[in-house]
Amino acid sequence: MVEDIHQTDQVAFGLSAALLVVTAVGALVFGRIADRIGTRLVMAIGWSLLALSAIGGVLVTNLVETTVVVLVAGVGNGAATAVSWP
């Protein structure tokens, strides 16, 4: 964060906290969705969002793009976590 998009450590910690919160909320939401549509589809959605955020993470150049990538990664991680943990 500091070297690539020239943000402060506080912004980096804030994005880390946002990732944690979005992952937790995503896990709750996708856990309920998995009960309705199935765990395989939710896992596929989660992995797809994680792959999309990995590609986006290579291309980011500013804080707004980084924030979007972090939010997409959090949702994807939440979906994958919801169906992979017992």
Reading the block at residue 36, the tokens are 């309705």
Mean pLDDT of the 18-33 span: 96
Q: How many CB atoms lie within 10 A of CB 52?
A: 14
Instruction: Give the span between the Cα atoms of 37 and 9, in whole angstroms.
Output: 40
Q: Terminus-to-terminus CA distance in the chain, angstroms?
A: 34
Spatial contact of 52 and 76, defined as CB atoms under 8 Å apart: yes
pTM, whole model, 2 decimals?
A: 0.90
pLDDT digits (tens, 9 = 90+) for 30-77: 999 999 999 999 999 999 999 999 999 999 999 999 999 999 999 999
